[in-house]
A and B are shown apart, each in its own frame.
Chain A
């Protein structure tokens, strides 16, 4: 019965929230970019290359956060069978994929001048590459299975199995000796970063979070409409036969 639940209330809320979240996300991104390029001081070791961190770290955080959201939505879809939960998970995947790709690319652009290599097969980099392929596999899976309920079920399982990779990514810098530096913000003893560097980083992180909400609302509206179109078409075929 819930499969036919009317998402009208969600649509009404999403329509009001879309312009606000989109506007706030763009505005805060511009503030963040300004702070990252003009306000933040160069690092005493890394120099101006440090500025790559302000687009790298928030993208990497989002890569993980979006995956966790996708897995939680998948779990909710499994337990309560709420139709919007599958839609939220499916709508999140391309956004997570883009954030993961950005984390990898900006990381390579930082690695080349700092480590002298675009890529190393180190625990952190490899586990994030696996995250990229998890997102990709999830998207492909939705497209590969024609029957929507079976596709949703397979996608949920993949999202939930893949969540083991999230703690692996987070702790990879502690469990294995890696080239990638350890955490500087999420530490037990507090952030080990000067305030003029921390502020642009946090502003960019909040901006990326709001952009995620905006893009999620847009993509969920798209999914809801596409499902509605599918049922309308099925109804027409049923009526004509």
Chain B
């Protein structure tokens, strides 16, 4: 328990270390998720319009 609290204290630099890791993880996660969603949306739109085109 105290091991973990010293770990989270980061030798007094907790206020700098954790935001640095937090923002890195958050920003990359958000970039990946937004890119993925936009890619899925446009690929689906292409599929839809191509199937609409091939209708007799």
Contact = CB atoms under 8 A, between A and B. Distances in A.
Interface of A: 22, 29, 33, 37, 42, 47-49, 51-52, 55-56, 59, 94-95, 98, 101-102, 105-106, 109-110, 112-113, 211, 214-215, 218-219, 221-222, 225-226, 228-229, 232-233
Given A102-B27, A222-B38, A232-B53, A52 B46 contact: no
B42 A109 contact: no
B20 A52 contact: yes
Chain B: interface secondary structure?
A: helix
Contact of A51 (B10, B27, B38): B10
Contacts of B13: 47-49, 113
A95 B31 contact: yes
A42 to B, nearest CB: 6
B10 to A, nearest CB: 4
Interface string B25-52: 1011001100110110011011001100
A110 B23 CA distance: 13
Say which size band chain B's interface belongs to.
20 to 34
Contacts of B31: 94-95, 98, 215
A48 B17 contact: yes
Interface of B: 10-13, 16-17, 19-21, 23-25, 27-28, 31-32, 35-36, 38-39, 42-43, 45-46, 49-50, 53
B35 A219 contact: yes
26 contacts: A29-B28, A33-B25, A42-B11, A47-B11, A47-B13, A48-B11, A49-B13, A52-B17, A56-B20, A94-B35, A95-B31, A102-B24, A105-B20, A105-B23, A109-B20, A110-B16, A113-B16, A215-B32, A215-B35, A218-B36, A225-B39, A225-B42, A225-B43, A229-B46, A232-B46, A232-B53
B16 A109 contact: yes
A49 B3 CA distance: 18
B42 A222 contact: yes
A237 B4 CA distance: 64
A219 B39 contact: yes
B17 A49 contact: yes
B26 to A, nearest CB: 10
Contacts of B12: 47-48
Given A219-B35, A229-B42, 6 more contacts: A47-B12, A49-B11, A52-B20, A102-B28, A225-B42, A226-B42
Nearest to A111: B16
B11 A106 contact: no
Nearest to A14: B39
A55 B24 CA distance: 7
A211 B11 contact: no
